[in-house]
């Protein structure tokens, strides 16, 4: 084989290598563009639903937000935050302490040492008193008050 043939063969290999490298770069660019352009598609469904629910709650559409949050519940530990958000909506916005209590309890079951655990326990005490007061016709008497009344009537 003469030097000219070797030179031509070397040039063909370089061209093939360039074509292969260009193909790989093009493929990576297409994949990168698809991933960057489909951010919503890459977001897990429940994450997108939670974002939509947050937006509805911020707009004051609490019933729709509640429906969206409830559709995002999956029983996993990650659902604790959704239960917390639902409880706050029921408690603060809907004025339904019984429903709030349910979601506060679910939060504590899923995240007993979570970032909102102490706060949730305080909310639960308040809501339990509100539920009992409501069910008893606004005539709840504390244990200390009951003992005082009993002692006065002896």
**Tell me: the pLDDT tens digits for 110-134?**
999 999 999 999 999 999 988 888 8
- 83/102 same-domain check: yes
- 135/65 same-domain check: yes
Residue 33 lies in a domain: yes
Would you say 69 and 61 are in contact if contact means Cβ atoms under 8 Å apart? Answer: no
pLDDT bin (cut points 50, 70, 90) of residue 40 is very low
Report the distance separating Cα 48 and Cα 52, nearest Å.
6
Residue 83's pLDDT is what?
A: 97
Q: Which two tokens stand for residue 12?
A: 């063909």
pLDDT higher at 130 or 136: 130
Burial class (CB in 10 A: 0-12, 13-18, 19+), 63: exposed
Residue 57 lies in a domain: yes
- 57/25 same-domain check: no
Residue 54's pLDDT is what?
A: 97
- 34/66 same-domain check: no
Residue 17 lies in a domain: yes
| Domain count within the chain | 2
pLDDT bin (cut points 50, 70, 90) of residue 39 is very low
Residue 154 lies in a domain: no
pLDDT bin (cut points 50, 70, 90) of residue 69 is very high
Residue 149 lies in a domain: no
Residue whose entry in the numeric block shows the structure tokens 């991933």? 35
* Domain with 15 in it: 3-41
- 47/34 same-domain check: no
- 58/15 same-domain check: no
């Amino acid at each position: 084989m003469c030097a000219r043939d070797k030179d031509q063969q070397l040039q063909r290999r370089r061209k093939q290598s360039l074509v292969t490298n260009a193909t790989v770069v093009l493929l990576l660019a297409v994949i990168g563009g698809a991933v960057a352009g489909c951010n919503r598609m890459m977001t897990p469904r429940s994450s997108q639903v939670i974002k939509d629910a947050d937006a509805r709650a911020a707009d004051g559409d609490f019933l729709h937000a509640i429906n969206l949050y409830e559709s995002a519940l999956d029983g996993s530990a990650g659902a604790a935050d959704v239960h917390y958000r639902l409880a706050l909506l029921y408690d603060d916005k809907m004025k339904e302490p019984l429903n709030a209590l349910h979601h506060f309890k679910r939060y504590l079951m899923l995240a007993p040492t979570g970032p909102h655990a102490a706060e949730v326990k305080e909310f639960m005490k308040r809501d339990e008193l509100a539920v009992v007061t409501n069910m008893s016709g606004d005539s709840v008497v504390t244990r200390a008050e009951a003992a005082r009344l009993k002692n006065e009537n002896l």
